[in-house]
Structure formats: C-alpha cells, structure tokens
A and B are shown apart, each in its own frame.
Chain A
C-alpha cells in the first residue's frame, strides 16, 4: 500500500505517524510552536514601532548592538515562564496568588490589568493613525478592527486562534522588505550589530532614556503572564519543554530581527534630516522619497503590530483575571462555557476602541502612565518569577533554576530594577536628571 511509506500519515484528530525520529522531532516542534513565537513577535507592538523608529531617527544605526544584547536576556526571562507553565499547567497570576498570598496576588493583578488596559488604548491609537493614513475613516475602521479582534478569539478553538495569530506574526516579518527598501549600507549595519558603539558627542539624558525605553519595550510585564497562561491553555506536556524552548528562541530571534529592521527604517529618516512626532508623520514625510508603496506597507505593518499587541495584551488580562477568580478561562471553551473570561477580553477591547474615538482623549497622559506603571510592574513580576523558579517545594529538579540560571537572572533583575526606577523617576520628576 502506498500510504504505508508516506513520511507523514494523519491517523486521528491531533495525531500523526511519521517514519523517522527526525520527522518526529520536527512535527513535535510544529505542534508545540505558538506561544513563544506569538509572545515575542507581539512584543513589537505600536509602542515598540515608535521606540525603535525613534532610536533609528535620533541615533542612526548606533544602537543596533543593544538589540543583540537583549536577545539572550529576553530569551532567558521567557524561558523561565516556559518551565513554570509546563511544570504547573497554571498561569503566572494564579501562581503569585497561591504562593505569595492575597495581597501580592491582588497587587500584581490590579497593576497588570491597569497597565494592560492603558497599553491597549495606545494600540488602538496606533490602529486609528494607521488606518486613517491608509484612507479609511477611523470611525468605521476602528470599531470594525475591534469586532475582528473579538471574532478571532471567541471561536472556542485554541488552534484556530493560534493559526491565525501565527500568520499575523509571519506578516510582521515583512519589516525586512521595508528595511531593504531604504537601501542601508549593509556593512555598516553588520558593524553596528557586532561592535557596541555610542553616538558621537556627550552621553545625554535623552540617549539614556531611549536605551531604557528600548529595554522596557523588549521585556514587558504582560509577556510573562501571557506566555505562561498560553502554555497552560495549550496543555503543553513535560516532554514538550525542549520544543517550547526552541519556540521561544525562534520568537526571540524574530522579534530582535524585526526591531532591527524598524531601526534601519528610522535611520533613513535620520540620513534625510526629517523631523517627526510619531511614525505616521514620519512615513508621510518619507512617501515623496520612497513612494506610496512604501508608505502603505509601513502603515499596514504598523496596524498589524498594534492588532497583535492589542490581542495578546487583552488575552493576558483575561487569562490572569480568570485564573485568580477561579473562572473557566480557556480559548478552547465557548463564550457560554467561559463567560467571565470572554467578558474581560471583549470589554477591554471595546472600551479601548471607544476611548480613542473620543474627541480630545488624554492620549499623552495615558502614554506617560503606561511608562510609569510598566516601570513599577516589571521588577515585581520578574522577582516573583525568579522566586517561583527557585521554589523546590513546588518544582522538581527538571524545572527548578540551576546556579547559572540564578546568576544570570539576578543580574538581569538588578539591571532592570535600576533601569525601571530611572525611567519612572524621569517620568514622574522630569527635571531630576537635568
């Protein structure tokens, strides 16, 4: 029979039979792949587009090395989440609640929900700008985007949601075309990726805060909650650890690669001496030089980044709230089976969409609040993660941190603490460093 010799045969729902170990590993990876890739690519959201473009526009290619440095850091932090999620089958919010008590649990949840919601408003502000730039009326396009975001999640199928979201993540890789479009000096790009350098002139507070903003954009608190809940929802098994790590590593490479492409695009604005306040203004100024095709693709990718950010951030809120409340909280469940989980998701998406349509919405205040609250949130979320990964009562030897993990992680935590503190102090007390 011919079927007998085929390399892959689907036998039943969710099961395939392959005829080599190599194919088995590959198929396992493809089945496990998702949470790591999604969380990493979605991290390049609207705020990230703005930060990386600004970095390129202000300092050219000089900060590319920072992205390479952030690759292992972002991987190590998310890898801890992978271990914790697979070992316990529960989300990060639930773990904090159960192991650190009600006070820390409530604090973490409240902070997460607040910072997530404010970030969500900034995502919708970018959707508004992007769709407006593409010629759509925001008063129809923004509500339609919100409806599409809801429709994608409420299908009652984790797999359907994951497949569509992975496609959106792959679309995000198109930033490479924009980077190629601006024809950078690739040898200079390679040089700045490998050799750390700072822009000529004195080190200003603006430069320091941009570096802090890049670090804060690459490692965000919601990512910890999102990936652990996603892994729990996907029911990853102990045997999936290797593939889940690989998924996270591939995602980390993608996010850094996309971020570098954004910085290269920003560098083009720097070379042409263009001044702008936001990415939409920048692309409008670039259109006469690079054409309408460039402008449209840029705006489309900006909307895609904001859509990915909006979906993952709202989901991390819904999962966290559902876990702490003890509600049913799975994408595998229908709206009828998990009403509370979906109400949090739908409510936050609709409210954020409505806020950006309000005339005179306080967007600047919201952006500042996001920076302050994220500064507060990140160190606390990472400290809980580090303590949980050293919890030998809870985790067995396979999952608990090794000595080298702890050395790296405590160093990263101290650096992040100092950076978050510096950023928050600057935002709260603008003249503190001048």
Chain B
C-alpha cells in the first residue's frame, strides 16, 4: 500500500517592524482640506469655543489681579 504523507500547511507571520514597507494614503501632495460646509461649521464652532474660553481665562486673570 502506498504510504500517504500528511501535508501540513504552513502560515507565515511577519512582525510589522520587519515587514516590507507598504504604500500608505498619501498626504503630501494634497495640501489643505477642502472647506465643505461641515468642515467650515466645525472649525467655526471650534473658533467660537476657543474665543469664549480665552475670554474666560482673561476675565479670571484680571479678577485675580484685582482689576474688577
């Protein structure tokens, strides 16, 4: 009777640090993000929020200094 050799499948696992470099989504040639309505409003609300917070910090600073 022919002796059948059991074939064991092998799977390779390579650590990311030692693997070939892959091409990533390229950001270099894109420049700045397009100002869609969503982007515009999100950045606008962020600006308003930051101005409000900066105002509060200035108010607190002046208050601590005894200006009012």
A→B interface (CB under 8 Å): 4-5, 11, 13-21, 23-24, 27-28, 31-32, 87-90, 94-95, 98-101, 104, 158-159, 234-238, 240, 332, 372, 375-376, 379-380, 383, 386-387, 390-391, 393-396, 399, 417, 421, 424-425, 428-429
Contact = CB atoms under 8 A, between A and B. Distances in A.
Contact of A88 (B25, B32, B33, B39): B25
Contact of B30 (A20, A104, A394, A396): A394
Given A383-B42, A387-B42, A428-B57, A27 B13 contact: yes
B46 to A, nearest CB: 5
Contact of A235 (B8, B10, B21, B53): B21
Nearest to A231: B16
A99 B13 contact: no
Interface in B14-31: 14-19, 21-22, 24-25, 27-28, 30
A-B pairs, top 7 by smallest CB distance, nearest first, are A14-B18, A14-B15, A89-B24, A24-B11, A27-B13, A428-B60, A99-B33
Interface of B: 8-19, 21-22, 24-25, 27-28, 30, 32-34, 38-39, 42-43, 46, 49-50, 52-53, 56-57, 59-60
A363 to B, nearest CB: 18
A364 to B, nearest CB: 14
Contacts of B15: 14-15, 31
A158 B17 contact: yes
A99 B27 contact: yes
Contacts of B50: 376, 380
Q: Which of B22, B25, B34, B59 has the most CB of A within 10 A?
A: B25
A98 B13 contact: no
A95 B22 contact: no
Nearest to A158: B17
The prevalent SS among residues of A at the interface is: helix
Contacts of B24: 87-90
The prevalent SS among residues of B at the interface is: mixed
Nearest to A417: B49
A17 B11 contact: yes
Nearest to B22: A237
A13 B49 CA distance: 51
B56 A237 contact: no
A32 B16 contact: yes
Contacts of B11: 17-21, 23-24
Given A13-B18, A87-B24, A380-B50, A429 B13 contact: no
A235 B13 contact: no
Contacts of A424: 53, 56
A348 to B, nearest CB: 23
A15 B8 contact: no
B9 to A, nearest CB: 7
Given A14-B18, A158-B17, A428-B56, 13 more contacts: A15-B15, A16-B12, A21-B11, A23-B11, A87-B24, A95-B27, A98-B27, A99-B33, A372-B53, A376-B50, A380-B50, A393-B34, A396-B25
